[in-house]
């Protein structure tokens, strides 16, 4: 694996940290800004919706930009958004800063995933995506617990200031290690790039991502109040538990990449079934500290085992010309799932169903993802139909050279 993949992972680390850091600060933010926990949860939903809107718009608007220049510009916006969050004095200001930051997310991961798959051999492309996304898992492994620790000692604003500093470092690493484009991109005509969106299999793949991943965030969005109010953990134990979740994400990410290299649809089915089982068990997992900590570790493994198969499925079904757009749309789909999960969990809490109700909400959303996977598996595979513009799975990652 080339060093340039590690540079992409560094950018992913910065963006992942700012996405997830709010979860370790939810109680602090709600108290300081005088808002409820469910309202504070909308800071997660707002970010996710910003990704969902920004990903396709920015990807299409910057399709002729050199990729390295684009990735660095996105990191600059990321730094600006986190500085604005540090300065936020109200809920509205903080929400606006989160949305500004979110605009960079989908395009960075979407374009980065396409670049990553073009840097390795065909049989390593899912693993290359997994390696880039390891920056996201490292963000939860280190970024979120450290951010929570900074917030506990110096306030939540200083946590966002620290993330802005991470962005500066990531920008420097990208500048040094990501190879410059050999020639200015010559994208396919816009009509061809949009053609993949006419395929039902593409929309089913995006739907699998939305609902399959929504279950993760229906629970994880509210993990800090669950651990403090139901399990009775103190701040140090919560930070340690978030660290375990990040370790689980790292393991699950690697596992999912290996599974997807051997067969994407089978990997999707197996990883979603594993996630569903873990979410159901969660209803009984928060009574004791030790059990809760082990459970959160397993939840992390099950959650990120789904990521590489979901990304590869969309790339395989979109066709060569639409790969950049489809890849970014799938990142948007992940975040639409985040928003849906955070909203659904918050709705259950706000209607008096209790904090543990989020486990049932999470399981229900994942069932919908599994249903879409089963439907997709029964239909003709677009990647096996060249006449329809699809590409074989083995060639799906080569799209960065084609576009």
Q: How far apart are CA 310 and CA 170, in angstroms?
A: 26
The stretch 152-165 carries a mean pLDDT of 89
Average pLDDT over residues 65-81: 88
Percentage of the chain beyond pLDDT 90 is 25
The residues, any chain, with a CB within 8 Å of residue 327's CB and separated by 6 or more, are: 109, 110, 111, 113, 114, 311, 314, 315, 318
CA atoms within 13 A on the CB side of 379: 16
Q: What is the pLDDT of residue 363?
A: 95
Q: What is the pLDDT of residue 366?
A: 95
In this predicted structure, the answer to whether residue 236 has a pLDDT above a threshold of 60 is yes
- Residues 218 and 360 sit within 8 Å (Cβ to Cβ): no
Residue 2: per-residue pLDDT: 65
Q: In whole numbers, what is the pLDDT of the chain averaged over residues?
A: 82
Contacts with 388 (C-beta within 8 Å, 6 or more apart), sequence order: 199, 319, 382
pLDDT in tens, 307-359: 888 878 887 787 665 666 777 788 788 878 888 998 899 899 988 888 899 99
**pTM value surpassing 0.85:** no
At 389, is the pLDDT very low, low, confident or very high (cuts 50, 70, 90)? very low
H helix or E strand, kind and range, residue 34? none
Using an 8 Å Cβ cutoff, are 325 and 60 in contact? yes
Residue 322 phi, psi (nearest 5)? -100, 15
pLDDT digits (tens, 9 = 90+) for 172-195: 888 887 777 665 656 666 776 677
For residue 219, give every residue at least 6 positions away whose Cβ sits within 8 Å of its Cβ, in sequence order, or none.
Answer: 226, 279, 282, 299, 341, 345, 358, 359, 361, 362
pLDDT tier for residue 294 given thresholds of 50, 70 and 90? very high
> Which two structure tokens, joined as six digits, stand for 190?
């816009």
Tell me the CB-side half-sphere exposure of residue 376, using CA atoms within 13 A.
30
Q: What is the distance between the alpha carbons of residues 24 and 46, in angstroms, rounded to a whole number? A: 17
Question: Mean pLDDT lowest for which of 10-14, 130-134, 365-369?
Answer: 130-134
Domains along the chain?
A: 3-402 (1.20.1250.20)
pLDDT of residue 40: 85
Tokens, residue 395: 């060639």
Q: Which of 360, 361, 346 is nearest to 43 (CA)?
A: 346
């Amino acid at each position: 694996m080339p060093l340039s993949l590690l540079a992409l992972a560094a950018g992913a680390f910065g963006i992942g940290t700012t996405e997830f850091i709010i979860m370790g600060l939810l109680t602090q933010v709600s108290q300081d800004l005088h808002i409820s926990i469910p309202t504070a949860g909308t800071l997660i939903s707002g970010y996710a919706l910003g990704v969902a809107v920004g990903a396709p718009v920015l990807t299409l608007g910057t399709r002729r930009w050199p990729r390295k220049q684009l990735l660095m510009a996105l990191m600059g916006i990321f730094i600006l958004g986190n500085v604005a969050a540090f300065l936020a004095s109200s809920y509205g200001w903080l929400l606006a800063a989160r949305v500004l930051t979110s605009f960079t997310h989908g395009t960075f991961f979407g374009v980065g995933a396409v670049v990553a798959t073009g840097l390795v051999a065909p049989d390593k492309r899912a693993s290359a995506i997994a390696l880039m996304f390891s920056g996201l898992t490292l963000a939860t492994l280190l970024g979120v617990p450290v951010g929570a620790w900074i917030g506990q000692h110096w306030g939540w604003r200083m946590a966002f200031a620290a993330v802005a500093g991470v962005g500066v470092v990531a920008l420097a690493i990208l500048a040094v290690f990501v190879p410059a484009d050999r020639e200015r991109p010559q994208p396919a005509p816009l009509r061809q790039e949009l053609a993949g969106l006419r395929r039902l299999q593409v929309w089913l793949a995006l739907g699998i991502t939305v609902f399959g991943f929504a279950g993760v965030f229906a629970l994880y969005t509210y993990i800090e109040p669950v651990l403090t109010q139901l399990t009775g953990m103190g701040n140090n134990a919560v930070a340690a538990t978030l660290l375990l979740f990040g370790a689980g994400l790292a393991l699950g990410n690697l596992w999912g990449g290996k599974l997807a290299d051997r067969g994407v649809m089978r990997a999707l089915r197996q990883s979603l079934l594993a996630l569903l089982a873990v979410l159901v068990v969660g209803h009984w997992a928060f009574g004791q500290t030790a059990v809760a900590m082990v459970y959160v570790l397993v939840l992390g493994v099950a959650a990120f085992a789904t990521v590489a198969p979901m990304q590869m499925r969309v790339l395989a079904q979109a066709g060569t010309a639409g790969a950049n757009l489809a890849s970014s749309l799938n990142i948007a789909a992940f975040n639409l799932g985040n928003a849906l999960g955070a909203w659904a969990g918050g709705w259950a809490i706000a209607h008096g169903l209790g904090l543990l109700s989020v486990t049932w909400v999470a399981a229900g959303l994942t069932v919908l993802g599994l249903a879409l996977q089963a439907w997709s598996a029964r239909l003709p595979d677009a990647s096996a139909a060249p006449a329809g513009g699809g590409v074989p799975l083995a060639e799906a990652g080569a799209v960065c050279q084609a576009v």
